Structure 1
């Protein structure tokens, strides 16, 4: 969970319209991205925060269903100050998705006030812990726990060794060396804030839950616990944006996949397991 310092100091979305050379609206982008095109003579400014590409791109951008500007107000209470962008599907999981599920995909980024964001993150952290408890085997939990213990002892030995009584010096040194030898930890790993084994755990959760299942679970969780009242009309918990590419050709296409949340038995069981059935039934 972030702090107030990381709240955006500018509006989240500049809503510059980007047009195909044939005048078809392709997508919205930031002023920074629009300037990037303009400075490289890849586009021309056509007025009122609109640019037109001067080259023929490999696709037509976003589907019409989601082709609308984003509002710079909180999706929970419509407030317009101290805003931040929230990834509905946490980045720690998305980073393990293949490109077609994460590249140029801002569908599941929601604008929230810092207050509402931080409030929701409390519930989000609990859900992450449930996923960890359910899908990470005991040996991985043991290694993670041992790593944090070894890191704590490493810091104590490095920065406070001279202040410790002789008995404590011996205890910490032996305990630390024992953990390093048993689990094969490396000293350079302890400069990290988080355990390097956590990354493997997130990847393991993605693999075992399933990419589309995980996306839907997080979107349902967001609906249930954040209680957003001002989401775009097109935003659905079972709608997934996928980018397809033709191999060897500079062409990509954005598609929207609607998943039947009650047809797939595995997904349905997960929805029931995590107490999301009621909210899912409201969005069939």
Structure 2
């Protein structure tokens, strides 16, 4: 009896303790959570309307972010009737509370000092989905924003729920952000911003850098505990900033997968594939080696090039070559080839190539990357399409995705400079849908096939709409419905001109296509900074190769002008 009473007393005491603890936690939460405007009343906010003042504020931001090498970042714009206006405001904040609000709509362009800061890859621009804002800056102003970092990556590493900025702010800073739609959707292009707009914009950027610092230092503390346990030491987390952040730079944060609908069956477990940023890359990743490094020899034994095993054996199987060695596979042609490896450009094709990402060195899986995109290369003259393997390299899935993101800025720049709209723009589409005709067709199909299921009021409404577009008809007939069901909805755009064709045509007439090739090669080197490029890979590879052709008299005058090769 005494034992039973003692147990009940213990349970009651435990329940009381738990209840008190929960109450205390909620009490503390109520006490800790504060309005962000009150909590961050120390901010120094500079609203920038001129290029001269922009240079001053950018200089101060650079000075203040030397330790953290990161700035809180955000953008604002106006959306009118579903259409987005160009970015009106860029917000940047240092950790100590110096905030620059750059009103691009007032300056009409991005000053050089601000553009250099946004494109400086040594300084991280941190926030929630900053890469999305970067896409808009690229489209609107040609700014190639670099080293964006979504703080949700670090939140997930620390075991926090990766919610939005408001959720992370209340969890980690105890600050309640003003997320009223009235302020979020306010007029960011107004002649003068309101005090509430200024505070909202500055706090959003500042909260991002504060959260970033907290999350990074939490990672540092974990490492400190491990180093104490194992008796190892090391530099501070800020000294190893790139080690923690570079793998997430310019990488979109992927939210949790959507839950399955009721009754849907989960797919059976599979052996895990190498993790890649997005689903569409899983189908593209190649696991087999691209380079087999088999050798192709001329009849006199000179090495012509390396190639894959299948190509080498094709010559053997056709009776056009003989096998010299099995490992590595070497075959000698029985006929004189059209050309031989000449100079450094020719020797490039005789060297062995490594099956790994040319940027990070990952050799587990990779994707072919066309440094000069195919939308341009396919429109080059045949003489420049030959030996295009020089501009095909291997990238891992993550580097391939990053490279494509960087490419977008160059494509958009070319679109502006050349006046060649990208396919995503309405004026650059091959065809377009007539919305009125589409509605007529859908109305007719509803009446023809679903009339018996429609409420009487709705059926009459649809009939009246259809008769408005057939004024010579008094009543709805089956013949009319059949005719309306088959009306043409999609029309060819008579003004369509391919972006790639237009860019290639422009360079053909203005300096030559070698300039376009070199532009893309230089962009790849600058944007990706590859560490494992093949030996003898060159910015001017095609120029060197074609000069050899020119000496042999194998280039026409017309091709010379198009290529941009005017002299020996």
Q: Fold match, TM over 0.5?
A: yes
2:516 aligned to which of 210, 214, 220: 214
1:88 aligned to which of 355, 360, 371: 371
Is contact 1:66–1:234 with CA below 8 Å preserved after alignment?
A: no
Where does residue 278 of structure 1 map in the other structure?
none
In the alignment, is residue 130 of structure 1 matched against residue 418 of structure 2? no
Q: Give the RMSD, CA atoms, in angstroms.
A: 3.8
Whole-Å separation in 1 of the counterparts to 2:372 and 2:302 = 30
How far 1:224 sits from its partner (Å)?
Answer: 1.1
How far 1:104 sits from its partner (Å)?
Answer: 2.8
In the alignment, is residue 46 of structure 1 matched against residue 346 of structure 2? no
> 69-78 or 204-213, which moves further after superposition?
204-213
Where does residue 81 of structure 2 map in the other structure?
none
How far 1:177 sits from its partner (Å)?
Answer: 6.4
1:20 aligned to which of 292, 298, 312: 298
> What's the TM-score, normalizing by structure 1?
0.68
Where does residue 9 of structure 1 map in the other structure?
287
Query: Structure 1 pair 44/143, CA: closer, same or farther in 2 (3 Å)?
Result: same
Is contact 2:438–2:489 with CA below 8 Å preserved after alignment?
A: no
Whole-Å separation in 2 of the counterparts to 1:235 and 1:153 = 54
Whole-Å separation in 1 of the counterparts to 2:406 and 2:363 = 23
Whole-Å separation in 2 of the counterparts to 1:61 and 1:71 = 20
Whole-Å separation in 2 of the counterparts to 1:57 and 1:24 = 11
Identify unmatched segments of 5+ residues in structure 2.
1-277, 448-460, 470-483, 555-562
Identify unmatched segments of 5+ residues in structure 1.
186-196, 249-256, 260-284
In the alignment, is residue 236 of structure 1 matched against residue 538 of structure 2? yes
In the alignment, is residue 144 of structure 1 matched against residue 448 of structure 2? no
Q: Secondary structure, in 3 states, of the residue corresponding to 1:58?
A: coil
How far 1:247 sits from its partner (Å)?
Answer: 8.6
Structure whose CA Rg is larger: 2
Q: Secondary structure, in 3 states, of the residue corresponding to 1:208?
A: helix
Where does residue 254 of structure 1 map in the other structure?
none
Whole-Å separation in 2 of the counterparts to 1:128 and 1:169 = 47
2:503 aligned to which of 189, 192, 205: 205
How far 1:226 sits from its partner (Å)?
Answer: 1.5
In the alignment, is residue 121 of structure 1 matched against residue 121 of structure 2? no
Query: Structure 1 pair 21/3, CA: closer, same or farther in 2 (3 Å)?
Result: same
Q: Secondary structure, in 3 states, of the residue corresponding to 1:86?
A: strand
Q: Secondary structure, in 3 states, of the residue corresponding to 1:52?
A: strand
How far 1:133 sits from its partner (Å)?
Answer: 2.1
Query: Which digits, 9 at most, give the CA deviation of each residue in 1:67-89, with x for residues without a partner?
Result: 20111111001110121111100
Where does residue 357 of structure 2 map in the other structure?
74
2:528 aligned to which of 226, 241, 266: 226
Is contact 1:18–1:28 with CA below 8 Å preserved after alignment?
A: yes
> What's the TM-score, normalizing by structure 2?
0.36
Query: Structure 1 pair 5/178, CA: closer, same or farther in 2 (3 Å)?
Result: closer
Q: Secondary structure, in 3 states, of the residue corresponding to 1:26?
A: strand
Whole-Å separation in 2 of the counterparts to 1:8 and 1:25 = 28
Is contact 1:12–1:84 with CA below 8 Å preserved after alignment?
A: no
Q: Secondary structure, in 3 states, of the residue corresponding to 1:6?
A: coil
Q: Paired residues, what number? A: 232
Answer 1 or 2: higher relative contact order, Cα 8 Å, separation at least 6: 1
Whole-Å separation in 1 of the counterparts to 2:321 and 2:439 = 56
> 237-246 or 87-96, which moves further after superposition?
237-246
How far 1:3 sits from its partner (Å)?
Answer: 2.6
Query: Structure 1 pair 198/5, CA: closer, same or farther in 2 (3 Å)?
Result: farther
Whole-Å separation in 2 of the counterparts to 1:158 and 1:34 = 57
Whole-Å separation in 1 of the counterparts to 2:410 and 2:291 = 29
